[in-house]
Amino acid sequence: MGTSSENIIKFNQLKRRKVLTLTLFILLFPIFTNITKAQNTGALRGVITDSTTGEVLPFSNVLIEKLNTGTSANSQGYFFIPSLPAKKYYKVTFSFIGYKPKIISVYISPKKITDLKIGLIPTSIMLQPIEKVGERTAEKNAPNLGLERISAGELEIMPKSVEEDVFRSIQYLPGVQSTSDISARYYVRGSPSNENLVEINGMAIYNPFHALGIFSVIDPDMVNTLEFYKGDFPANYGGRLSSVTNIITKDGNKNKFGAIASSSLLAGKVLAEGPIPFGSFIITGRKSYYSDIYKKFLNNESAPVNFYDLSFKLNYANPNFINGSKIIISDFSSGDRLLNSNLFVENVQWYNNVFGINWYQLTNSPLFFEMSLYSSNFNGNVNPKLSGSNPKSNQVNDITFKADFSYVFNSKDEIDAGWEIKNIDTYLNLQNGAFVSDISESGTNINFYALYKFIRFSNFGANVGTRIDLTGLSQSQGSNLLFGPRVNLTYNLSQAITLKAAWGIYHQQITTLSDANQVISIFEPWIITPEYLQPAASIHYSGGIHFDFSQAVSLDVQTYYKVLQNIAAINYNRILPTDPDLVAGSGVSYGWEFLFKYLNDPINFTGSYTLSWAYNNVNGWVYYPEYDVRDAVNLILEVNFGDGWYASAAWTFNTGYPFTQSLGYYNKFYFQNFYSDWQIYENYEPFSILSDLNLARLPDYHRLDLSVTKKFNISFLKFTADISVLNLYNRKNIFYFERTTGKRVNMLPILPMATLKMEL
């Protein structure tokens, strides 16, 4: 007979098996009860593309008005509508933002899947009324609280902050904050930036920022569509606590060769694309070339900014090879080097490289699956030279295999399931005060997810699922199961009013060393959560109500409450070598978000307001994080004047960010050389005495940006000229006070910017 501890272990193992078996049974039961098709119905399936380039149009809309039913395409432009009454013709409307809607007549055969390939013709990039109707019918019952999608056309006409950038675009959304004009680093609903997952075609990027964080490493010209979850993301996403940004890149022109070259005051870039047998390719590149402009962002201080990014994507879909398949090979790399000639200024370098293979497969049934294999690497280091700063070196190597399956039932319900095997190696060499930490960790995480989309009714939708981490990355996590159940609900009170609610538990097994006292964060080193800490977790509670006052006017109101647990924080009280580098903290954030839209060509207006609170607790010390803002307002006006002229204006306001005041300073003695006779006379430097962390608030922030765009043709060349003025009325927004002098440092002054793009 076993010992008491052995019995407890066996009992826990049996309990986990039962929970896992019950979860799988609940989620997979509909497959076995709905496997037989009705004899008098058929299905409609297809892919929606741009008729001029062959680019897929992700999340485009499909509407069958006679049946008052429809759907939306997935990220690869595929759609599927089951259980259509057979032996009949139906008029089907296909629509997407910036394209002319297409209506065709389709005959549905019994017990068969009718395949279509739909090409839409580009028109104005403004919304058309029929597109809004299709969107309502297709997604009215979709449980998507917290989800925002931005197409390439929308991204192009949004106000330019510095220059066109995906991360700065999402900062106009309610619930998303940035702490300065200098950085595109964003904070979502009161959480630190390391809790945001950034993916490019499903592949994770660990440091997605260029040039001191002024903008992202993602060239907007390569973007097809952007999916942004500011919370409540479904079970197929994991590994982060706060948000998901999934960037879907273009496939490349399948019909003809083309090229784009553009130049701004910050960087120059090129794009080449064209067809190959049974597919296409696209190559992009961007390089900085004028570092003096960055003085505007850095208080007139010089910064030898030198960066680049390169991407390559190859698409292959040969029906003679594997019918219904699409294979994508892609590579993305970026690098930043801040190399100072001054020996008393540190050098900083960081690099990303992501390579992946994706296989998408349609079958002769309502089953769609995707398999992916990718590697993502990050390498960053700080060489202090004679600056006195701390040296830092960080490496992350991530190899991931993913398999995702989707099955649509005759009822229109859908079940998604998949698994992921992720191996991560991290290395960090860091000096913390008098101590040097050399941390090397390696681990493999195996996780499984399953979710059921209950969308059979026109007035109710539910997304119920769970993500299960079968193994942990660190030894302390070991084989402990981590359950992440999630629920997202939608109920239509009427054609004009929709109620939404969501709840979920999320886990994160890697973290960064984020210094709350650092004004400008160049890069934050990643590590696997140490074995003496539990994996970080968050619990999301969200609710909302959506009003459609007309086809052009809508209002979205959301509220959230988020609890953060086991958040890794730097141990500023470390005294002994045995003291840990990190300690566990917690946090709470909550707030209200309002988003008003008027979308009616030629005028678009968007207004948002956020009222929020955020608190962190480390070692019993409760404080406001640096990104806690009480009130935030964003107003955006876009006007299409016709004949290729577009203009946009964006006004931003928020109450002051928290900061730590200086109470005074004293001359601190720094011991450096035991044998120096002058040691006691020379090695005194001012040392600041600080008040309580982030107890004070900076003044209110506001600024107005204006952008004017003109599109025109010269012979066979297409041109786009853009002129922007940032901080139009030259508002002096405070950035920080220098600790040693008390000097006030302001954010970005008035700054004109210009970009010229040429397309072949």
Domains of the chain: 41-139 (2.60.40.1120), 213-660+695-759 (2.40.170.20)
446, 419 Cβ separation under 8 angstroms: yes
Q: Is 291 in a helix, a strand, or coil? A: helix
654, 632 Cβ separation under 8 angstroms: yes
How far apart are the C-alpha atoms of 23 and 470, rounded to whole Å? 14
Sheet with 61-64, edge to edge strand ranges: 69-72, 61-64, 88-95, 102-108
How far apart are the C-alpha atoms of 392 and 394, rounded to whole Å? 7
**Alpha-carbon dihedral 210, 215, 220, 226, rounded to 10 degrees:** 110
Mention every residue, 6+ apart, whose C-beta is less than 8 A from residue 558. Answer: 145, 146, 174, 175, 500, 542, 543, 544, 592, 593, 595
| Structure tokens, 321 | 């090879």
Q: Which helix (H) or strand (E) holds 20?
A: helix 4-33
Vertex 339: Cα angle to 335 and 340 (nearest 5): 155
The amino acid occupying position 262 is S
How far apart are the C-alpha atoms of 260 and 252, rounded to whole Å? 12
| Structure tokens, 720 | 């786009």
- CB atoms inside a 10 Å sphere around CB 398: 21
For the chain, residues with pLDDT lower than 50 are: 1-5, 8-9, 11, 19, 27-28, 30-38, 125-137, 669-681
Q: Is 177 in a helix, a strand, or coil? A: strand
10 Å CB burial of residue 687 (0-12, 13-18, 19+) is middle
How far apart are the C-alpha atoms of 366 and 37, rounded to whole Å? 11
Question: Which residue shows structure tokens 């089907």?
Answer: 92
Q: What is the pLDDT of residue 35?
A: 44
Which residues is 528 bridged to in the sheet? 510
10 Å CB burial of residue 190 (0-12, 13-18, 19+) is buried
- pTM of the full predicted structure? 0.86
486, 467 Cβ separation under 8 angstroms: yes
The amino acid occupying position 53 is T
- Say how far residue 295 (Cα) sits from the centre of its chain: 28
Nearest one of 465, 571, 474 to 515, comparing CA atoms: 571
Q: Which helix (H) or strand (E) holds 402?
A: strand 392-408
334, 309 Cβ separation under 8 angstroms: yes
| Structure tokens, 730 | 């030259």
By DSSP bridging, strand 61-64 and strand 69-72 are antiparallel
Q: What is the pLDDT of residue 746?
A: 85
How far apart are the C-alpha atoms of 491 and 504, rounded to whole Å? 18
Mention every residue, 6+ apart, whose C-beta is less than 8 A from residue 29. Answer: none
Q: What is the pLDDT of residue 75?
A: 87
DSSP state for residue 180 in the 8-state scheme: -
List C-alpha distances in Å: 355 to 56, 282, 312, 376. 22, 15, 9, 7
The region, left, alpha or beta by phi > 0 then psi within -120 to 50, assigned to residue 195 is alpha
48, 79 Cβ separation under 8 angstroms: yes
Q: Which helix (H) or strand (E) holds 233?
A: none
Which residues is 88 bridged to in the sheet? 108
- CB atoms inside a 10 Å sphere around CB 103: 12
Mention every residue, 6+ apart, whose C-beta is less than 8 A from residue 747. Answer: 180, 181, 182, 701, 733, 734, 735
- Say how far residue 273 (Cα) sits from the centre of its chain: 25
The amino acid occupying position 347 is N
Question: Which residue shows structure tokens 């006007």?
Answer: 639
Gap between the terminal Cα atoms of the chain: 79
How far apart are the C-alpha atoms of 189 and 244, rounded to whole Å? 12
Prior bond of 234 cis (ω within 30°)? no
Q: What is the pLDDT of residue 155?
A: 75
By DSSP bridging, strand 510-512 and strand 526-528 are antiparallel
Question: Which residue shows structure tokens 């109620």?
Answer: 499
DSSP state for residue 471 in the 8-state scheme: S
Q: What is the pLDDT of residue 274?
A: 96
How far apart are the C-alpha atoms of 368 and 185, rounded to whole Å? 35
593, 629 Cβ separation under 8 angstroms: no
Q: What is the pLDDT of residue 571?
A: 81
Alpha carbons within 13 A on the beta-carbon side of 264:
24
Nearest one of 101, 100, 56 to 79, comparing CA atoms: 56
- CB atoms inside a 10 Å sphere around CB 479: 11
Q: Which helix (H) or strand (E) holds 129?
A: helix 129-139
Q: What is the pLDDT of residue 131?
A: 35
How far apart are the C-alpha atoms of 281 and 287, rounded to whole Å? 21
- Dihedral sign for Cα 361, 362, 365, 369, please: positive
| Structure tokens, 721 | 């000229």
List C-alpha distances in Å: 112 to 31, 38, 87, 93, 147. 19, 11, 11, 21, 34
160, 705 Cβ separation under 8 angstroms: yes
- CB atoms inside a 10 Å sphere around CB 233: 25
| Structure tokens, 298 | 């850095």
